[in-house]
Structure formats: C-alpha cells, structure tokens
Amino acid sequence: MRGGYVWNRTRARVGVVLLVCILLALGHTRANAVRTNKRHSHTTTLSTSSTSPGGGPSLVRLAFAGSDEVGQPTGVSVSWSTGPKPKDLKSVVLLGTEQGNLTLRVESTAPGSQVTYLAGGTTHHHVEVTGLEPDTTYYYRCGDDSSGDDSSMLSEEHSFRTAPDVRAGAKGFTVAVWGDMGAGNCSQKTREMMQALSPSVDFAWHLGDIAYQDDWLFLDFAYEKVLDEYMASMEFFSATRAYMTLAGNHECDCHSIRCILDSELRNSLHNFTAYNARYRMPSKESGGIMNMWYSFNYGPVHFVNLDSETDYYGAAEGEHDEFYLLDSGHFNPYPNAYMEWLEEDLKQANSVANRTLRPWVIAGTHRPMYLYGNASSMREAVEDLLIKYDVDLFLGGHIHSYFRTYPAKAGEAVKDYSPEARAGKLVNIITGTPGAIDRPMRGGGVLARAGDWVASVLSKAGRAAYERVVPWLTGGPRHDPRRDAEALEDDMSIVAHHTHEQSFGMLHILNDSAIRWELVSSETGESIDRLELTK
Ligand SMILES: [Fe+2]
C-alpha cells in the first residue's frame, strides 16, 4: 500500500510539473485591474470585472438573519460587493414595505461589515436587517447613500419576503436545492430553468461547490473573475430571496497554476477565505462558525447545515486541501467543537417543544455518506447522530450525479418510505447534477474563449474522461473511478433512483405532515424523480 501511495504522489508531482510546462508554453495574461506586488516586484492581475468601476454595488445576495423568541429568522443579511475601494464607502440598506418608498435606513459599521481579502481587490459588504415583520414583502436598495439617491452608488431596487411565522400555521413553501454548479456554459441550461421557475421558489440552498473558481488551467489569475461571474449570474435568486450556502471542496482554496506560483495569492485565498468573506450565513444565531456550520428555521422545518470538509475525524480537508498544497480546517474553537455543536443542535431540534412547532428536521451538507470512494468518513462521523435525533432527510452533492436512496443505515436499506419504516434509518439524496465540470472556462481572451468552446464539448462528452485523467495526475483518491465503481457496487443496493441527467432539486414543504422532493430536468423542467414523505 505504501508503494502505491508513493507512486501516486510521484504521479501527482509529475502531473503538476507537466501541467506547469504546458501552461508556461501557453502563457497568457489578461489585464483588468493591476496591483503592484512590492515584495515580488511584479504585477498581478486582479479581476473585478463584475463590479462597477465606479465602486457601486454588485453581486447582491441575501441570507436569513436574526432570531425571534422561537428561533425564526426576523430578517436578512444583505451582502454586496464593490470594486477597488475608491474611498471610505458606507454600508447602508434602505428599505420599506412600499415600492419606491424606502423610509427605513440601516447602516453597519460593525467589524466584518466590510471585508477585503486581496490587496486592492473587491470589498464585500454585509448589513443585517432584522426585527422585520414576518411573511411581508420588503423593497430595498443597498450601497452608499452619501450622495443621496445617486444610482451609481446604490443598487437598483429589489424585494424579498420575510420568513413566515409558523405559530400562525404551517404554510407551504419551496426550496431550490443543488450542489456542484459552477459558472459558464456547462450550467447554463440549469440556470435558465431555475430562473424560469424562480417565482415559485422561496429560497435557494446551494450544497457547496459553488463556482469552481479554483481550478483555472491557464496562467492568468481568474479566481475572482470566475467567482464574480457565477454570483452575478445567480443574482436573479440571490438578490430576491435567501441564498443559503455550504462549503464544498472547491471553496477551500486556489490551486490554479497562478496561485501555486504566487505565494501571496495562494495564502490570501487558502482555507475557505473567499467563501467566508463573500457570504454571511446565520451562524451567530445558531451557535455555528462562520459559513462553515450553522442552522436556521423556516416554517415547520429545522435546516441544519453540516460541514463535510473540516473539523471532524477523517475530514478530507481537516488538515490540508486535497492536493496537499495548503493548510485548511481548524475552525473549531476547541477540540471537537463542531461535533458537539452538531449534536446539541440536533438534540434541541428534536425536543418535544421544537418538534411540535417544527416537525421536520432536514440536514444538508456537501459530501454524501454513500456512493463515492471516500464516503465512509462522513458516514462514520454523522450517520448515527442524524439517525439518533430522527433527521428526516439528508441532502448532499459532490458527486456529479443524482441518487435517491431508500431509508438506510450502515449500508442496509428497507424499500419502504412509510414513517414506520423510516424510523431508525435515513433517506439520502445526492443532487450534484446542475452541470458543473471542474473546468469553468469563461472570459474575454482568445484562449479563454477557446476554453469555453472546449468546456461546452466537455460538458457532454468529457466528464467521464476528466474523472479518469485528474485522479491520475493528482494521485487523489476522491474521483478514482475504480474506487467509485467499487463503492457503487456496494452501495447500489440502497439506491431507489439514479440518473446523470442535468437537473436540480425542488423541495416542497407541503404542510407540517408532508413534504415532497422533486428532481427537475434542466432541459425540460419536467419532474424526473419524485418522493413524498409523510409524518
Ligand atoms: Fe465537491
């Protein structure tokens, strides 16, 4: 085994060297904004192309915030980005319940209300707007209102609806759910279908691997550009309803060639820095940590967000990223804090009082517990815990495929979804099919456009090839098709439905005794898998 390990590491190094040589030959840079790196006396391309050159807000996104006496969100965090800071910008949200009449003003100067993680790069603003009326539509603009109603410094007017008060009765709602999406052509169909269906969606839940900005193959620095492009393309969701996120392995760091060669970029982007800077999940309301683990309530459901990447025994990125390049993890304020938090959160959610108010407990994370080579770490860490506290549904991504299992535990399943059969077992759904391949190639350069074309071809034919080539180059086990095949063979007995079709999930909470899961085809909008669970 040791010989195999050494051989894998050798192949990894040979692969990286080969890639560097090829890409040096293809050397290509694209200038959008330039900063001078004094330490290295060279210039580094920083792309802020999606942000307004005048410093106005872009990439507007919302997440639930606040907590009332029964733990329901009372508002949202409003987040947005501005280009290289021209001066001291304010972080302000103007809002009201009438269109065009924004009489409420909230400014945040709290630590963390403006975050910049790259010198000379984008600033990310976060303002919490809480204490709002439940189940009410609010209109808002965000930005800097110093110049009055200067539209270049304030966003356009958007609206959102606050969470309902479950004490007024369990109201049905719909959540769009998916993992592994990415920018560019490969997910375009999904994006279009999501936009078409967005009027019926109350909030979005992205189960990690958001933009795939980390794997750029060319020599220019595209991390920020790809991430900006993805977030801009999803503003139709994120500016008008909560866009809840989880950390996936592609949020961990930047291991593109440029980042490997530039220690400042590499270090500035390591350990989920960009992910934690750009989004603002309700971790302080739920005792969680940053955007890594947290929970929230909405209607008759408790949503618990698990960290599948770090801070538990066997976590794939608990000590370093999967390429063994950079340190990662250690968000725990003390040993085992994450697992203790998870147990306490589930225990509270499962109390009689909370189950009466919110009968459903649904868990989401990035890596699944079954159906890929390295799933056993997650399974060993959380399966018993989730079942002990009677979690109703477990959602994940990471695999670019779709699986729905029967109620299962320790690899054994019952082919029956009735409440009685589900007791002591857990239904797993893996929804990683919106279209991502690990090469988001978009941009203005000739090579980038060529890459875009290649990506569009690869999106159909190359996914399988990619999953064979990359593990060989990196020596990494996570996408080793042989291991996946073995795992699949073992796990397929628990699978009720499996498809590779490009798709995403819609979770319909019908009332306090019924939920319906639906897999929606990105191509046709038709339901291609469906499951109803009752209490
Ligand atoms: Fe992943």
140 and 249 both lie in a single domain: no
Compute the distance from residue 512 Cα to the ligand 1 centre, in Å: 32
64 and 192 both lie in a single domain: no
Compute the distance from residue 181 Cα to the ligand 1 centre, in Å: 10
Compute the distance from residue 212 Cα to the ligand 1 centre, in Å: 9
Compute the distance from residue 20 Cα to the ligand 1 centre, in Å: 24
Q: What is the extent of the structural domain holding 107?
A: 48-164
- Tokens 């990471």 appear where? 398
**Segments of the chain scoring below 70 in pLDDT:** 1-55, 85-87, 150, 437-489
Contact 209, 398 (CB under 8 A): yes
Compute the distance from residue 402 Cα to the ligand 1 centre, in Å: 14
pLDDT attached to residue 253: 93
Residue 235, both tokens: 């503003």
pLDDT attached to residue 400: 84
SS3 312: coil
Task: Please indicate, yes or no, if residue 113 is contained in any of the structural domains.
Answer: yes
pLDDT attached to residue 54: 56
Compute the distance from residue 170 Cα to the ligand 1 centre, in Å: 34
Asked which of 164, 188, 204 is the last residue of a domain, the reply is: 164
Compute the distance from residue 460 Cα to the ligand 1 centre, in Å: 19
Residue 24, both tokens: 């040096």
Taking a 5 Å cut-off on Cβ, the residues next to ion ligand 1 are 209, 248-249, 398
pLDDT attached to residue 86: 63
Task: Please indicate, yes or no, if residue 226 is contained in any of the structural domains.
Answer: no
370 and 511 both lie in a single domain: yes
pLDDT attached to residue 23: 44
CA distance 436 to 346: 32
132 and 183 both lie in a single domain: no
Contact 509, 172 (CB under 8 A): yes
87 and 190 both lie in a single domain: no
pLDDT attached to residue 376: 87
Task: Please indicate, yes or no, if residue 470 is contained in any of the structural domains.
Answer: no
Question: How many residues are there in the chain?
Answer: 535
CA distance 421 to 95: 48
Asked which of 140, 164, 188 is the last residue of a domain, the reply is: 164
Compute the distance from residue 4 Cα to the ligand 1 centre, in Å: 24
Compute the distance from residue 320 Cα to the ligand 1 centre, in Å: 15
Task: Please indicate, yes or no, if residue 473 is contained in any of the structural domains.
Answer: no
Compute the distance from residue 239 Cα to the ligand 1 centre, in Å: 25
Compute the distance from residue 274 Cα to the ligand 1 centre, in Å: 16
142 and 75 both lie in a single domain: yes
pLDDT attached to residue 458: 53
Compute the distance from residue 369 Cα to the ligand 1 centre, in Å: 13
Compute the distance from residue 233 Cα to the ligand 1 centre, in Å: 20
Compute the distance from residue 422 Cα to the ligand 1 centre, in Å: 28
Residue 521, both tokens: 């085809």
Task: Please indicate, yes or no, if residue 468 is contained in any of the structural domains.
Answer: no
Compute the distance from residue 105 Cα to the ligand 1 centre, in Å: 39
SS3 286: helix
Task: Please indicate, yes or no, if residue 293 is contained in any of the structural domains.
Answer: yes
Asked which of 164, 191, 224 is the last residue of a domain, the reply is: 164
144 and 186 both lie in a single domain: no
Helix (H) and strand (E) counts for the chain? 15, 25
The total number of structural domains that make up the chain: 2
What CATH number should be reported for the domain holding residue 88?
A: 2.60.40.380
What CATH number should be reported for the domain holding residue 199?
A: 3.60.21.10
Residues 6+ apart with CB under 8 A from 302: 295, 349, 354, 358, 360, 361, 362
Cα four-point dihedral sign 156, 58, 441, 291: negative
295 and 426 both lie in a single domain: yes
Task: Please indicate, yes or no, if residue 364 is contained in any of the structural domains.
Answer: yes
* DSSP 8-state assignment for residue 133: P
Task: Please indicate, yes or no, if residue 450 is contained in any of the structural domains.
Answer: no
Residue 402, both tokens: 């779709």
191 and 250 both lie in a single domain: yes
pLDDT attached to residue 43: 31
pLDDT attached to residue 216: 77
108 and 206 both lie in a single domain: no
252 and 391 both lie in a single domain: yes
For residues 492, 494, 499, 504, the Cα torsion angle rounded to the nearest 10 degrees is -140
Compute the distance from residue 533 Cα to the ligand 1 centre, in Å: 27
150 and 59 both lie in a single domain: yes
